[in-house]
Structure formats: C-alpha cells, structure tokens
C-alpha cells in the first residue's frame, strides 16, 4: 500500500500530481470519489499538466491535456475530444484508508 496524501489535501473538484519512484501520477476528487491515473497522455506520451497540480478543465468537469487540449472523462479516463479521442488514460485503483488516499502499487506503467 502506498499513501499518496491525507484525503483533506485533495478537496472536491481539484487535482494533484505525485511522483513515485520516478513515475508521475495524479489524483482527482470528483463527486466525493477519488480517481488516480498515470500522468501520460495517450497521444504523445507526455505529461498532461503545464502548471503544477492543474489537470482539470476550467470548469473542473474533465481532465485536460495542456499540450493539445485533449479532454478525458474523470470517471473513466476516456478521451472524448482531441487527437487521442477514443483512447484513454491508464487508471490506478485507489481508495481512502485511515484518512489517506492510497494505491496498492504502481504496476503496468505506460511505456515511455
């Protein structure tokens, strides 16, 4: 089990990036649920944010790639607009345990 942060450090409608063992991931809290993804756009394989912890569209309803503006559903990571439409972000199962956002482990990371 890997603790990412206390749950109160990720408010509703916000995102936050993490670097674990050289791997970049991010978490989003939406509708009181936590979603964690590898920080890698399926289009060019680059990280999604250009400002630290800014992974969401301006209205906080979608994940947005800062390079080409691709938009992804928060709940599934599916790209619904942009050059990688129909592809998706790779999810990492997460949960809240003892007040912390946790993941089991980093496995099957997207290729560089």
In a domain, 27, yes or no: yes
Residues 27-37: tens digit of each pLDDT? 999 999 999 99
In a domain, 108, yes or no: no
- 48: domain CATH number is 2.102.10.10
In a domain, 109, yes or no: no
In a domain, 47, yes or no: yes
In a domain, 30, yes or no: yes
Residues 12-55: tens digit of each pLDDT? 999 999 999 899 999 999 999 999 999 999 988 899 998 999 99
- List the domain range (segments joined by +) for residue 11: 2-103
How many structural domains are present in the chain?
A: 1
Q: What is the 3-state secondary structure (H, E, C) of the chain?
A: CEEEEEHHHCCCCCEEEEEECCEEEEEEEECCEEEEEECCCCCCCCCCCCCCCCCECCCCCEEECCCCCCEEECCCCEEEECCCCCCECCEECEEEECCEEEECCCCCCCCC
In a domain, 112, yes or no: no
pTM of the model: 0.93
């Amino acid at each position: 089990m890997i603790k990412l942060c206390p749950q109160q450090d990720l408010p509703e409608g916000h995102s936050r990036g993490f670097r674990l063992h050289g791997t970049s991931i991010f978490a989003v809290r939406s509708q009181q649920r936590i979603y964690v993804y590898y920080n890698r756009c399926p289009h060019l394989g680059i990280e999604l944010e250009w400002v630290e912890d800014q992974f969401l569209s301006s209205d906080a309803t979608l994940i947005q790639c800062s390079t080409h503006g691709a938009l992804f559903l928060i709940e599934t990571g599916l790209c619904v607009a942009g050059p990688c439409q129909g592809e998706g972000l790779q999810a990492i199962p997460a949960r809240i345990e003892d007040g912390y956002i946790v993941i089991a482990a980093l496995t099957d990371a997207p290729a560089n």
